[in-house]
Structure 1
Amino acid sequence: MKIVVTGSSGTLAQGLIQLVLSTTKHSLILVDHKPPPPGSELDNPRIEYVTAELRTYTNFLEILTSKRVDALIHLASYPNPFLAHASETHNANVTLSFNALQAAVEAKIKRVVMASSINATSAAYAFGEPTYDYFPLDEQHPMRPEDAYSLSKAVMEVQCDAFARFNPEISIASLRFHHCVNTKKNSSQIVKDARKDLWGYVLMESAARACLLALDVPWKGHEVMYIVGNQHSAQGYNAEEIAKTYFPKTKRKSGPLSPSQGFYDCSKAERLIGWKHEGGRMPA
């Protein structure tokens, strides 16, 4: 399979590249607005690098149509609200996601993965305290974005719904990633500071694996899935106790939380793409 990966100089993309090369026979077209970073595998026959400004729609469409692409993994975006003015962050991200979907449809690509975020519900970047109706969170929980970045991810998911409605043969997976790390995260010293995003993280290899698994699905349409570690990162703290301390009004979806249980319900990702945080099937 020939896969276009946008935002290829980003952290998640780098983990994805390594996973593809080490576990699959896929080839990659890596697209970013800046040249490949030092140490890139420029001579690898399975990799092609393209430098392009994807906010210009014709550039996006040209890449997808001229390369005979089988799938698209769209990771390009501002990854948080602090790197640019709010107008730039929101408008760039929303334009990029629309261009990705529109170009995929025009290029007749049927397999698309879009990088969403746990912040689509409002989490780490909420201006005040985020409101959580119940724990663990699932994909049915209301989205209440407040900042420009989180809003752009919520809009992206609405875009995906629209494209799936009018293109019934396409499969689109919006993967709500948490903080991607190379080793298990331990926030035992900053429990209060990590409360907004619910003491979560995802291992880089597991996040990359989710991207590949989401390309190999029998279903059509658009699905949103949490891709988060199954255990919280507040080492030494009981999940139920910290939930009561920092979110005393939040209900439980199905009984008390177990001591190390994460605050995100990722059962949908396991059901629809066969993903588990550690372990689970590897992509073909």
Structure 2
Amino acid sequence: MSRILVTGGLGGSGRWIVDRLAEEGHEVLCVDQRYAESERENVDVRVADLTDRGDVFDLVGAFDPDAVVHWAAIPDPLDHPGGEVFENNVVSTYNVLEAAGRADARVVWASSESALGFPFAAETPAPDYLPVDEDHPLRPEDPYGVSKEAGEALARTTVRRHDVPVVSIRPSWIQYPGEYVCLGNEPPEEGVGNFWSYIDVRDIAAIVVAALDADIEGHEAVFAVADENYADRETTELFAEQFGSVPEPCDLSGDDSSISNAKAADLLGWEPAHSWRDAADEDVDEPTV
């Protein structure tokens, strides 16, 4: 059993992460902006402003975690002023990663596919090649994507300064069993920003666990995406229709995801277990925090 601090643990996907870690018997400190009484003996909830360095250092220092899962953030630049999104995400990530490094705790944190620069671009460009992998250049132009690119720079800094492993998870569009909102859109137009990729929230919890368990050194960034697109069409057909051509080189067939999850499989031993074809109509109990 490990002591794991999870930020954003009462959020949409954070709750699933806390639930999975608690179910596996870990002692979890769930940190969020609001309070909720935990239903589990091995989960404690604390309220903190992660942009307040004192709050963060106090919590991390007192809990003395073996690992920190940093999942808190303002998740997009559309519902908040851009400057607020950038400042909140970067400052909170610095505070949490620096505190984790000082505590000699390994880190898994939520970067994003948005670091690539496609989802919130004013005019979405085509990727340089397909499938997109972790070597693809990052070219964000929006405050959310830039905050995640900056966060990955902070992750590398944490490794250099404190010699702790840090994994930056880059989730695609997170979907919830029985509530797959991506299917309510009109592909292909509405899916251009992330090239029709998605990930089930249960697979997010699973990749966080895999990253915590992996024997790695330094910093690694990995995409968390399902194996297939959610448009139920050939991926190359979607690109040809929306961009006029298919990026080359291209190593895709059928409805293969435009973003590769191969590195996560090789490095973490993780593969997605859920597909929209089954999960969209699943009746799954809400996670318990």
Q: TM-score scaled by structure 1? A: 0.90
Letter in 1 for 2:62: S
Letter in 2 for 1:21: A
Encode CA deviations 1:175-206: one digit per residue, 9 max, x unaligned: 00111112365367331111121101100100
Report the alpha carbon displacement of residue 83 of structure 1 after superposing the two structures with TM: 2.4
Specify every segment of 5 or more residues in structure 2 that has no aligned partner in the other structure, as ranges: 275-289
Structure 2 Cα separation of the partners of residues 253 and 57 of structure 1 = 45
Secondary structure of the 1:268 match is: helix
> What's the counterpart of residue 181 of structure 1?
175
More divergent stretch after superposition (243-252 vs 222-231): 243-252
Structure 2 Cα separation of the partners of residues 21 and 80 of structure 1 = 28
Secondary structure of the 1:135 match is: coil
Contact 1:29 1:50 in 2 (8 A): yes
> What's the counterpart of residue 65 of structure 1?
61
> What's the counterpart of residue 279 of structure 2?
none
> What's the counterpart of residue 10 of structure 1?
11
Q: TM-score scaled by structure 2? A: 0.89
> What's the counterpart of residue 56 of structure 1?
52
Contact 1:133 1:250 in 2 (8 A): no
Contact 2:121 2:141 in 1 (8 A): yes
2:243 aligned to which of 247, 250, 254 = 247
- Which runs of structure 2 are paired with 1:96-115 in the superposition (5 Å)? 96-109=92-105, 111-115=106-110
Letter in 2 for 1:171: P
Is 1:234 aligned to 2:251, yes or no? Answer: no
Structure 1 Cα separation of the partners of residues 260 and 82 of structure 2 = 30
2:142 aligned to which of 147, 161, 183 = 147
Letter in 2 for 1:242: L
| Identical counterparts, % of pairs | 26
Report the alpha carbon displacement of residue 10 of structure 1 after superposing the two structures with TM: 1.0
Query: Normalized per residue, which structure has more helix?
Result: 2
RMSD, matched Cα: 1.6
Contact 1:136 1:252 in 2 (8 A): no
Letter in 1 for 2:35: P
Structure 2 Cα separation of the partners of residues 278 and 151 of structure 1 = 30
> What's the counterpart of residue 282 of structure 1?
none
> What's the counterpart of residue 26 of structure 1?
26
Encode CA deviations 1:256-281: one digit per residue, 9 max, x unaligned: x21110101111111111110117xx
Contact 1:187 1:194 in 2 (8 A): no
Report the alpha carbon displacement of residue 66 of structure 1 after superposing the two structures with TM: 0.6
- Which runs of structure 2 are paired with 1:56-205 in the superposition (5 Å)? 56-109=52-105, 111-168=106-163, 170-183=164-177, 185-186=182-183, 189-205=186-202
Letter in 1 for 2:121: A
Structure 2 Cα separation of the partners of residues 181 and 154 of structure 1 = 23
Contact 2:129 2:250 in 1 (8 A): no
Secondary structure of the 1:246 match is: helix
Encode CA deviations 1:46-86: one digit per residue, 9 max, x unaligned: 01000111111111111111112111000111011122111
Report the alpha carbon displacement of residue 124 of structure 1 after superposing the two structures with TM: 1.6
Label 1:250 to 1:99 Cα distance change in 2 as closer, same or farther (>3 A). farther
> What's the counterpart of residue 278 of structure 2?
none
Secondary structure of the 2:144 match is: helix
Contact 2:124 2:192 in 1 (8 A): no
Is 1:215 aligned to 2:209, yes or no? Answer: no
Encode CA deviations 1:119-171: one digit per residue, 9 max, x unaligned: 00112211112341011100110111011111100110111112212333x11
Secondary structure of the 1:186 match is: helix
Contact 1:15 1:205 in 2 (8 A): yes
Is 1:269 aligned to 2:259, yes or no? Answer: no
Contact 1:34 1:51 in 2 (8 A): yes
Letter in 2 for 1:116: S
Structure 2 Cα separation of the partners of residues 250 and 101 of structure 1 = 39
Contact 1:188 1:234 in 2 (8 A): no
